[in-house]
Chain A
Amino acid sequence: MDLDCSWVKFFIIHRNCNLVARASTKEFYVAGGGVHPIANGMATAADWMSAASFISMAGIISFGGYDGSVYLMGWTGGYVLLALLLAPYLRKFGKFTVPDFIGDRYYSNTARSVAVFCTLIISFTYIAGQMRGVGVVFSRYLEVDIVTGVLIGMGIVLFYAVLGGMKGITYTQVAQYCVLIFAFMVPAIYISFLVTGNVVPQLGFGSSGADGVYLLDKLDGLHKELGFHEYTSGSKSLFDVFCITMALMVGTAGLPHVIVRFFTVKKVSDARKSAGWALLFIAILYTTAPAIAVFSRTNLIETVSNQPYDEMPEWFSKWETTGLLGFTDKNEDGLIQYNADTTVNELTVDADIMVLANPEIAQLPNWVIALLAAGALAAALSTAAGLLLVISSAVSHDLLKKMVMPEISDEANSLQLVLLLLEQYVWLDGLESTPQDL
């Protein structure tokens, strides 16, 4: 596959964005407070939509059906809380970081250190998920084991963050948003058109295929046949769905790297606007994901179920190499039995591969597949960069400057950043987590 060229281009674009976006040390934390709400909304969207949103979410929905709705509602509903209850007031208070707000508002350095601690825990766990995402992309396209993929990804993020610089990260993220949304939408529109003849994926997955049967009804039927729960009703209890959704909403509203973005605008009213634009840009991806989930699920079942293993297309063996797709011929009939019953089931599919494998399963051209990989990387890198910024400001601004040694200079802060990145690298080395956990 001719992927090398697009990789190179992709990195050059990103590098240039970073160089252009460099700014003075003064603007390091909140970009001088003069970002336009639409640009800020786009940057927030890229910052927040991570490898989990881009790669994993549609896959999880695709396996969970209605159960997957908890992520769709939970991760977007939090923005309503953010826009109505948090963002305008945090902006009004006029500080750089969340620990700043908590420490100054409650006149307590203990509260501040608790906030710093929480910020660091959230950011580190979150960034680990991004690494897994980058790892999945690399393991597939370099055809290596997933662990090797994660290691390669880590090296690139480290290299990239140190070289590109963290200043003026906003405009880098605007560019990354454009890359990732384009990469996500093109294959979705393509597949929607192929399957249903409707170019809008949001409408497409409620339409009927070539056989005249509504896609969702057909999928419900396929699921029943193979012993899975019905796609549109799911298997989780009402109580579980309710609580998970609530937890995700409240959690989303409290993400430190998202909140910090609302400090970058000029006025309180701009903070509200930013939240609105951010959710609008996020909604484009989030309403498309369930459509992709349905297309990929149907395509997967129709391609593999009860088909001979020897006649599987190329993508099957390539994903097998990564260890994320597995087949064991239990009854030795050479056919792939895909079933909810684990004693009969012969196929294991990791949910993380669904978005990336989807265009291959649907036999779309190679450039679409390459585009997806670029988008996934943009999603992971922009989030990783946003989180690294939060981590470095939590340590250098909140912890060192405000609490431990107030006389520290900005140059020493930059040194801190490099040390932190190295620390992060070592820390991640011993860690293997999946985006689903987040």
Chain B
Amino acid sequence: MKNNIYWKKNIRYITILLSLWFIISFGCGILFVEELNTITIGGFKLGFWFAQQGSIFGFVGIIFTYIFLMNKLDKNFKK
């Protein structure tokens, strides 16, 4: 039972984080790149920025979020 809850939470984290992963790379960097390119921040067109910079920063953020969430989950279930 306990394991079951742990596993379900883990799957939930993974689903949410992988959706984010898809949105920042395939969404912002590829599928909607033209639309986002109409917005410029500094010298960057936003879509281009996501494809060459933003997505990579996002990936790092996603993995560290997952590490944080899972460590917390591990701690809760050790009690």
Contacts and interface: CB of A to CB of B under 8 A. Distances in A.
Contacts of B42: 203, 206-207, 214
Nearest to B26: A242
A226 interface: no
A61 B48 CA distance: 12
A68 B29 CA distance: 12
A246 B70 CA distance: 26
Contacts of A245: 25-26, 29-30
Interface in A222-237: 232-233
A275 B53 CA distance: 19
Contacts, number: 112
A contacts with B: majority SS: helix
A272 B59 contact: no
A85 B66 CA distance: 11
Contacts of B55: 72-73, 76-77
A279 B59 contact: yes
Nearest to B65: A276
A276 B60 contact: yes
B contacts with A: majority SS: helix
Interface in B1-56: 14, 17-18, 21, 25-26, 29-31, 33, 37, 41-45, 48-49, 51-53, 55-56
Contacts of A61: 52
A149 interface: no
Contacts of A272: 63, 66-67, 70
Interface centre among B17, B63, B66 (most CB of A within 10 A): B63
B43 A206 contact: yes
Interface in A8-25: none
A283 B60 contact: yes
A245 B27 CA distance: 12
A208 B43 contact: yes
A84 interface: yes
Nearest to B21: A80
Contact of B52 (A72, A88, A246, A269): A72
Interface string A258-291: 0000000000010011011001100100110010
B45 A80 contact: no
Given A84-B14, A232-B37, A76 B56 contact: yes
B29 A280 contact: no
Contact of A77 (B33, B59, B64, B66): B59
Interface in A289-313: 290
A72 B30 contact: no
Contact of A85 (B14, B56, B64): B14
A345 interface: no
Nearest to B70: A272
A332 to B, nearest CB: 39
Interface residues of A, number: 43
B29 A69 contact: yes
Contact of A275 (B25, B43, B63): B63
A96 to B, nearest CB: 24
B2 to A, nearest CB: 17
A232 B29 contact: no
A25 to B, nearest CB: 33
A84 B17 contact: yes
Contact of A279 (B37, B60, B74): B60
A319 B26 CA distance: 38
Interface centre among A76, A77, A238 (most CB of B within 10 A): A77
Contacts of A138: none
Contact of B43 (A76, A85, A215): A215
A242 B45 contact: no
B63 A77 contact: no
Given A84-B66, A269-B74, A217 B43 contact: yes
B59 A79 contact: yes
A202 B54 CA distance: 11
A83 interface: yes
A190 interface: no
Contacts of A290: 52-53
A203 B53 CA distance: 10
A216 interface: yes
B53 A287 contact: yes
A160 interface: no
Contact of A214 (B21, B29, B33, B43): B43
6 contacts: A72-B56, A76-B56, A80-B63, A272-B66, A272-B70, A286-B56
Interface of A: 61, 66, 68-69, 72-73, 76-77, 79-80, 83-85, 88, 202-203, 205-208, 214-217, 232-233, 238, 241-242, 245-246, 249, 269, 272-273, 275-276, 279-280, 283, 286-287, 290
Of all A-B residue pairs in the complex, the 9 with the closest CB atoms, nearest first, are A214-B43, A69-B51, A206-B43, A290-B52, A276-B63, A206-B44, A232-B48, A83-B63, A206-B42
